[in-house]
Amino acid sequence: MKRLIALAVLAAVAAATPALADLAVGAKAPDFTAPAYLAGKPFTFDMAAARKKGPVVLYFFPSAFTGGCNLEAHLFSEAADDFKAQGATLIGVTAGKVERLAEFSADTTTCGGKFAVAADPGAKIAKAYDSPMKMAGMKAPVDLSARTSYVIAPDGTVLLAYDNMKADDHVNQTLTALKAWKAKQKK
């Protein structure tokens, strides 16, 4: 049964059409709190508190323990020190398989305990960020998020909104935008 559900989720992701990240550059990013995990340990993630420490790289992914999401989490994990060097908080958010996020956050093939992942049951946070997954042929979004990454300034301004179901360029896009913003701050 679990295998059938996993196959259905994978088929849904494969059939997904790219959703435009409607929360545009310059928009105000919504604050939220959500249950989260770092290296398997639970805590409550608070966007407003994270922004007080510096910029936030927020990335939405459809579901834990799926091919593209595993790859994306692994790539963010490999670059976690680069984000920290820029003074950024890195957080992944998903509505898929939220009951396995503690395991996902600690798994060495995914997050490796290097950054937090937060649960978004019903994709409420994704919807607030205009990042729900839209499926081909369906009028309403499903309760999963699209693969969308944001870079958010400490004042809440969206510096980057990058939406692409391919997982392999989100780290590059967010890190480049973050470095560009940091360079402007030094001038």
Which residues, including other chains, have CB under 8 Å from residue 124's CB and lie 6 or more apart? none
d(CA 106, CA 64): 12
Are 150 and 181 in contact by the 8 Å Cβ rule? The answer is no
φ, ψ for residue 143, nearest 5 deg = -85, 55
Which residues, including other chains, have CB under 8 Å from residue 180's CB and lie 6 or more apart? none
pLDDT of res. 137? 63
Whole-model pTM? Answer: 0.86
pLDDT of res. 5? 36
What is the chain's pLDDT, residue by residue, as a tens digit (187 residues)? Answer: 444 333 333 334 333 333 344 689 999 999 999 999 999 999 999 999 999 999 999 999 999 999 999 999 999 999 999 999 999 999 999 999 999 999 999 999 999 999 999 999 999 999 999 998 876 666 655 788 999 999 999 999 999 999 999 999 999 999 999 999 999 998 8
Which residues, including other chains, have CB under 8 Å from residue 40's CB and lie 6 or more apart? 102, 103, 105, 106, 113
d(CA 69, CA 149): 13
